[in-house]
Amino acid sequence: MSAGGLEPSLYINRELSWIAFNERVLAQALDERTPLLEQAKFSAIFSNNLDEFFMVRVASLKSQVEAGITKRSVDGLSPREQLEAIQERLRPVLQRQQDHYRQRLKVQLAERGVHLLDHHHLNDAQRLWVHEHFQTAIFPVLTPLAVDPAHPFPFVSNLSLNVAASIRDPETGQQQFARLKVPQKTLGRFVSIPIELSDTPDGATYTAVPLEQVVAFNLESLFPGMTIEGHYFFRVTRDADLELRDLEADDLMLALQEGLRKRRIGGEVVRLEVADEMPEEVVQVLMDGMAVEAADLYRVDGPLGLDDLFALTGLPLADASDDPHSGRTHPRLARAQRSMLEDGSIKTEEFESIFSVIRRGDVLLHHPYDLFATSVEEFINQAADDDSVLAIKMTLYRTSRDSPIIAALIRAAENGKQVMALVELKARFDEDNNIQWARHLERSGVHVVYGVIGLKTHTKVVLVVRRERGHLRSYVHIGTGNYNSKTSRLYTDLGLLSARPELGQDLVELFNYLTGFSRQQNFRRLLVAPVTLRKGMEALIQREIRHAREGRGGHIRAKMNSLVDPKIVSLLYEASQAGVRIELVIRGMCCLRPGLENISETISVVSIIGRFLEHSRLFWFANAGDPELFMGSADWMPRNLDRRVEAVVPIDEPQLREELEQLLELYLTDDTGAWDMASDGSFSLRRPAKGTGQRSQLQLIDRWHGGFVQTPS
């Protein structure tokens, strides 16, 4: 039996489910309906996702195998069996990506005047220009490294693109091996060639050649007097997961800095990608030099590292990208936007404090349709400058490098307010950024803490304490997404601005839990992990089971990033067998099998993939005609329920609850960007009838007017 109390066959492997999600991302690139540069973007996202998957998930499984761990996953697979299944599943998917790049993307870009040329396709004028560019702009930064008895095999850094050169000394006849790192991270992956050198300059808008080919076809400059017998490209992915003990804050900072130094170099190799034409003897040199196992070798029929396709997305091609989307200021906040006069003062005409707006009723935000800058950032900015505000407390999990929120917190501290920022140093792949912000904030007088030992603080909350008429009033923001200006334009997230006293008191006690020695076990309205969230969610599901068994019907709708937790999956199966209708919108991993006879017949799972990354979490329970709806930062995963600090808030105002119910309905009826999950874990894209089609994200762009979905007339 599994951890959820059911047979392993009733669960889908989480790693294979993640690969299925990334396949849906790639499908956006392969879909002919996707604009051309958006195809390049989604292909790049697919590759970037896969890099992180290998650096963390595959690396973890390999570590388990090396440690002799044979414990099986909830679906019954050992670590070694999971690695084998991953490799088998990935290889044909990677070939589809390469086929798309070579046979469709490059061809259709060329038809639009964007020529991504291989070096051997350059004309004489272009070849001469490229050679001269190599000598002046590339050659000085290259470092060839020989491999011979006097030079051991060089260290190859994580995610680096490299040239393996086979060289022969014409005097001795001795063959040698050398490696060059391609500096695409500093020089860019594509070398742009002047358009006037094209054979048809009038029809060209952009001509480029991959940097690695420029390096490879100029090797004679790096090895003068030697014969270049061959060159081959390879790329390395290393273990980049940081293993951190539960340390005190100072030790954690030091441990993270050391871990980040090691990550930049990389741990053991978990994937070696080589050009398909690389001879076996060269492959063997690489595998021996880096201790790579045969199962970790991936031959690639095409260019390596297609995450660099991001570089193409800024090309000025008409109708090749999604229409720009800027979002709107929430109508309730329209008069709460400060206008600066030339002398730096605030224009007070037609201005209303954001706090007075929130006092009149909760404000529901939906990003990116509601502007982050004129809502969340404005809330914190006004708090920083308002003389009546005494304290600001907030959590920072991921934030942008040029964050206006960080600037506001520093300004608030300079204005004499009590400012506390909980900076989560262990936010994966943002650790270095967060360390820098933590130090900057501390130097500016902000009190910085690092959360609860043993737990990652993932919740997204702000508490503002304001003196009003001799009393203190709390204002809160509780969201599903990070306080990050950049991702707020790319991710769909929800947020609640409220002055409800019970929510304010809950956040006061939550911050005491995060910064002190509180062992708070109950909250008034919030469900908080790891204290009350799991048992709260389980109780809500069990209530629907009781309603169904007692003839009152049962209905659950939930939207999240991932559904992995075995206990929740088991409970949903029980609910289905009791007759509860369960509709799930799961963007990523889903370990539940929907539609199984006598087990999950009433459960459906849909995944929405579109121009924005679906990131909001919603949980709706029918409750026999008196529905309850919650939103927050947690997925139904063991880490969110048991090993992180999370906060989920009930939406009490009927109008706001209705808006979110409409939102769930919109996702569930999407027939253009939605994928239906089958019981075997596969997904099929919904295809609308000709002339129809409802893509939820596009409908939200068209129909979202400052915070609520307008029902078409």
State the catalytic residues.
458
**H helix or E strand, kind and range, residue 254:** helix 249-265
Question: In whole angstroms, how large is the CA radius of gyration of the chain?
Answer: 28
| Residue 505 · residue 490 · CB < 8 Å | no
Collapse the DSSP code of 420 into the 3-class scheme (helix H, G, I; strand E, B; otherwise coil) and give the result.
strand
Q: CA-CA distance, 94 to 359, in Å (whole number)? A: 53
Q: CA-CA distance, 146 to 177, in Å (whole number)? A: 6
Q: What are phi and psi of 437, to 5 degrees?
A: -65, -40
For residue 498, the cross-strand partners are 476
**Using CB atoms within 10 A of its CB, is residue 168 exposed (0-12), middle (13-18) or buried (19+)?**
middle
Query: Could you tell me how far CA 350 lies from the centroid of its own chain?
Result: 39
| Residue 381 · residue 404 · CB < 8 Å | yes
Q: CA-CA distance, 149 to 541, in Å (whole number)? A: 66
Per-residue tokens: 224: 């003068």
Q: What are phi and psi of 383, to 5 degrees?
A: -65, -35
Q: CA-CA distance, 447 to 23, in Å (whole number)? A: 43
Q: Which of 370, 374, 371 is nearest to 354 (CA)?
A: 374
Q: CA-CA distance, 618 to 635, in Å (whole number)? A: 9
Q: Where are the beta strands (DSSP E) in 541-669?
A: 555-560, 581-586, 603-608, 613-614, 618-621, 628-632, 644-650
Collapse the DSSP code of 353 into the 3-class scheme (helix H, G, I; strand E, B; otherwise coil) and give the result.
coil
Q: What are phi and psi of 237, to 5 degrees?
A: -120, 130
Q: CA-CA distance, 229 to 464, in Å (whole number)? A: 68
Q: Which of 522, 546, 543 is nearest to 533 (CA)?
A: 522
Q: CA-CA distance, 279 to 284, in Å (whole number)? A: 9
Count of other CB atoms within 10 angstroms of residue 144 = 16
DSSP 8-state class, residue 275: E
Buried b vs exposed e over 88-99: b needs ≥16 C-beta within 10 Å? eebeeebeebbe
* Residue whose tokens read 């009490």: 652
Q: CA-CA distance, 459 to 510, in Å (whole number)? A: 10
| Residue 504 · residue 473 · CB < 8 Å | yes
Q: CA-CA distance, 501 to 463, in Å (whole number)? A: 12
Q: Which of 312, 139, 159, 306 is nearest to 214 (CA)?
A: 139
Q: Please count the CA atoms within 13 angstroms of the CA of 555 that sit on its side-chain side.
A: 12
Q: CA-CA distance, 266 to 382, in Å (whole number)? A: 43
Collapse the DSSP code of 602 into the 3-class scheme (helix H, G, I; strand E, B; otherwise coil) and give the result.
coil
Residue type at 430? D
Q: What angle do CA 134, 135, 141 make, to 5 degrees?
A: 80
Q: Please count the CA atoms within 13 angstroms of the CA of 96 that sit on its side-chain side.
A: 17
Collapse the DSSP code of 131 into the 3-class scheme (helix H, G, I; strand E, B; otherwise coil) and give the result.
helix
